Structure 1
Amino acid sequence: MAMPPVLDVARRHGIPLAVFWNQPATVLAAYYHYYHGHRETVASHASDPSHEVVLPGMEPLHIHSLPSFLVDAAHNKLSRLVVNGFQELFEFMDREKPKVLVNTLTGLEAATLTALQPYLQEVFAVGHMPPVSTKARIHMFQQDSKNYMEWLDTHGERSVVYISFGSVLTYSKRQIEEILHGMQECGRPYLWVVRKDGRDEELSYLVDNIDDHRGMVVEWCDQLDVLSHPSVGCFVTHCGWNSTLESLALGVPIVATPNWSDQPTIAHLVEEKWRTGTRMYRDDEGVIAGTELAKGVEFIMGNSMKAIEIRETANAFKHKIHEEAVKGETSKINLHSFAKTMIHSCKEIKIMSSYDK
């Protein structure tokens, strides 16, 4: 989905091509309908976050819940690049009708997957895809040498706040300060991932000198191990799709802090559709205020009826996803069907090539 040049290579050599969509089916649907009759509607309301957009087969979405590149009123260079690149992809999909493999679960987005069928014809759920074995994991960054798992062992059940903005987003100095103040305000223990890449000298000094006995700051960690630990009570996340799937699969409630790309849509799904968390909003500088973060954490970790319902729902999703993963029926059938079709197509190409020779 992110490599348009592959389309030309496949076309030139007659190689069968499928699209692997590593975002929710809801985001796929939003992009599809944006390029098929709804571009002007979205663009004309891009500056109105409260405006609701109704797309075919989908529940209404506020402008601020659509993928950020589609509603960037400033039209920055990256947004233009993504919008133009995806337009090429969807033009190819219209023309060639490829199979579309979506890294999602039918149990999460059944209605959306069904609603896409008349438009994309062969769209399949093939998720979710986190590794089940420690040996199967490849880490993008070196894990911190601190004994964070032993540190988690020292805390009570569902007492620790886990904070990570993933492998791409970096923190500004102000955002570091706001998160620190927010966690000090709510007074709960926290495990916070702050990567070293992208830090300038001032930011490194600030992070390295955080003095708060309630928290542990690490450069990187094994997220699946952390989310599996019974002491973790909530996940403050940027709502990247992999992180969200992992949180859903392990039953950890979410404090969503989306920033860009598909993250606002995923945060909407978390809060409004699946009801496994709450969403925070960034200010005009793209920063989550510490006081707002503290409110979000306290809400999810608290004992209100709504917080209890969110925790129960998150736990229910954990069991639902586990059952679907163990049975593997839908995703397994879809993958087997895809593999057989591709093998058959490749054999046909090989035969035709031998005739040409």
Structure 2
Amino acid sequence: MPVNSIYYHAHKGKIKVPLTEDEILLPELPKLQQGDLPSFFSTYEEDASVLNMLLDQFSNIHEADWVLCNAFYEMEKEVIDWTMKLWPKLRTIGPNIPSMFLDKRLQDDQEYGVSQFKSEECLEWLDNKPKGSVLYVSFGSLVPLAEEQIREVAYGLRDSGRYFLWVVRASEESKLPKDFEKNSDKGLVVTWCSQLQVLAHEAIGGFITHCGWNSTLEAISLGVPVIAVPQWSDQPTNAKYLVDVWKVGIRPVVDDDDKKIIMRKEALEFCIRELMEGDKGKEIRSNAMKLRNLAVEAVSEGGSSNKNIIEFVNSLFHVQKTENVIESVTTLIDNN
């Protein structure tokens, strides 16, 4: 909801684009810097089309019968309460991930059902690693990373001395350094894995993520602390919440010169040590488990998301019954 709130206020003219203010203050949101906003604000002068499209969706949202959000109330209750004053039929119905990774009420609900691949190699490799010892690394399926950035990540992972499982898309493999070992006792590089199964594995101790919303929800739902490395779109805002609001992650310092933003290996290594060894990491891990418990409660029987889904489904049956009554009365009138 924070990202939707930002877009809504921009649609209403409360955020001026191109951006002119360093700090953005909005109702029930933390103080935001320009870099915490979705990336389309900072690229507006280069290409305004995407941001304009996203803002336009709020031109008639007040006409919607329902607004359903893949989140849960307890994680964003302040902004959700504020937004429900605008859209009374807003309801949170998440996290929308298979039941067996949350409340376990639906035994057959174990995957999204869209994958054609298996993760045996990843899971077998993880089975041989100590509990909480492995860093899972994935930057999503859309944004390509610069070769320089991939090199910094590769050397940062290698030199950290930690176990790591890194998903590098086939189209990106050629960017890996020639002297970087892709399959060793310490690290495994694959082109795909079942992220949910990996995050749920007891060997996983942290998630280096681009902070896409699906990955954000999956990390929260499985209680996995994160190292936040946002790239574009809503990811900077998601990272802001993961690190500063929910306090379930840490964010590396990046070099920002000539519009080229690069996370250096030293910054990544520092965050890995903080997360996996330091006192801050213990606090982050504790917060991650607390948030996971709230996610499980939300989708369990009687939880906030569970109630909202029931309310929505019941409304559909009510509409259907009403339509059936109207149809029956109309038929009766026509026959007389």
Per-residue displacement from partner, 1:97-127 (whole Å, max 9, x unpaired)?
4421110011101111001122222211110
Aligned partner of 1:321: which letter?
Answer: A
Change (3 A) 1:302 1:85: same
Pick aligned residue for 1:295 from 262, 267, 270: 270
Q: CA deviation at 1:151?
A: 1.3
The answer to whether the 8 Å contact 1:249/1:321 transfers is yes
Q: 2: distance between equivalents of 1:75 and 1:355?
A: 57
Q: 2: distance between equivalents of 1:114 and 1:45?
A: 29
* 1:78-93 correspondence to structure 2 within 5 Å: 80-93=48-61
Name the stretch that deviates more: 340-349 or 328-337.
Answer: 340-349
Counterpart for residue 106 of structure 1 = 73
Identity %: 31
Counterpart for residue 72 of structure 1 = 43
Are residues 1:229 and 2:201 paired? Answer: yes
Are residues 1:55 and 2:26 paired? Answer: yes
Q: 2: distance between equivalents of 1:220 and 1:164?
A: 9
Q: 2: distance between equivalents of 1:327 and 1:348?
A: 28
The answer to whether the 8 Å contact 2:28/2:79 transfers is yes
Change (3 A) 1:141 1:61: farther
Per-residue displacement from partner, 1:179-234 (whole Å, max 9, x unpaired)?
111112211110000111x348x437959964654100011111111111121111
The answer to whether the 8 Å contact 1:33/1:56 transfers is no
Bigger helix fraction: 1
The answer to whether the 8 Å contact 1:103/1:129 transfers is yes
Q: What 5-or-longer segments of structure 1 have no aligned partner?
A: 1-24
Pick aligned residue for 1:193 from 159, 167, 179: 167
Q: 2: distance between equivalents of 1:141 and 1:237?
A: 23
Are residues 1:248 and 2:220 paired? Answer: yes
Aligned partner of 2:6: which letter?
Answer: A
Q: 1: distance between equivalents of 2:98 and 2:146?
A: 31
Change (3 A) 1:160 1:199: closer
Change (3 A) 1:301 1:208: closer
Change (3 A) 1:290 1:349: farther
Q: 1: distance between equivalents of 2:196 and 2:71?
A: 18
The answer to whether the 8 Å contact 2:66/2:90 transfers is yes
The answer to whether the 8 Å contact 1:179/1:289 transfers is yes
Q: 1: distance between equivalents of 2:77 and 2:20?
A: 29
Q: 1: distance between equivalents of 2:111 and 2:127?
A: 24
Q: 2: distance between equivalents of 1:292 and 1:143?
A: 33
Q: 2: distance between equivalents of 1:169 and 1:207?
A: 24
Q: CA deviation at 1:345?
A: 4.2
Aligned partner of 1:119: which letter?
Answer: L
Q: 2: distance between equivalents of 1:220 and 1:328?
A: 36
The answer to whether the 8 Å contact 1:70/1:83 transfers is yes
Q: CA deviation at 1:311?
A: 1.1
SS state of the match for residue 321, structure 1? helix
CA RMSD, aligned part only? 2.8
Q: 2: distance between equivalents of 1:166 and 1:251?
A: 19
The answer to whether the 8 Å contact 2:275/2:281 transfers is yes
The answer to whether the 8 Å contact 2:147/2:176 transfers is no
Q: CA deviation at 1:166?
A: 1.8
Pick aligned residue for 1:162 from 136, 139, 142: 136
Q: CA deviation at 1:247?
A: 0.8
Pick aligned residue for 1:119 from 51, 66, 86: 86
**How many residues end up aligned between the 2 structures?**
320
Change (3 A) 1:239 1:179: same
Counterpart for residue 6 of structure 2 = 30
Q: CA deviation at 1:320?
A: 2.3
Q: CA deviation at 1:319?
A: 2.0
Q: CA deviation at 1:243?
A: 0.9
SS state of the match for residue 38, structure 1? coil
Change (3 A) 1:229 1:127: same
